[in-house]
Amino acid sequence: MEVFVRPALESDIEKIKPYIEEYGLDGENLDNQQFYVAEVGCELAGFGRFKRYGEVYELATLGVLENYRRNGVGKKIVEKLMYAVPSEEIWITTIIPEYFEQFGFIEDDNIPDEILLKCERVCGKLNKTTQNSHYMCCRK
């Protein structure tokens, strides 16, 4: 399966929104300039974005459509995002820390306030708790 990852177009956001809601992801301030989409053929296979909070960067809103999971789609999206982030330090909040360890992310207790505030805000909107969240950082 050939996966192509490209910067998102404005029109891609409407395609992505239903999956963001279905997967319970961060739908705050959706801006296509933050997103990359993965396609197989002409079909949407996944998406992800990076968000900037001052000097802090976070990988966020990562999702792979069910039919394309376990085929390297997520890996290609994460790699593209990590390359695109103009910082040596990248954060992610996840419930699957073992997946992100392969990219060099490690759990870190020195969580930037910007990340904590974002998680409280987004989880509050989604009626979720941050109890199972793992805060991880990768230093390129």
Q: In this predicted model, what pLDDT tens digit does every residue of 41-72 receive, in sequence order?
A: 999 999 999 999 999 999 999 999 999 999 99
Task: Quote the tokens at residue 45.
Answer: 């296979």
For residue 86, the domain's CATH number is: 3.40.630.30
pLDDT band for position 125 (50/70/90)? low
Q: How many structural domains are present in the chain?
A: 1
Q: Which of 50-54, 103-107, 120-124 has the lowest mean pLDDT?
A: 120-124
Domain that holds residue 10: 4-139
Residue type, 6: R
pTM: 0.93
3-state DSSP call for residue 118?
helix
Sign of the alpha-carbon dihedral angle for 35, 39, 44, 46: negative
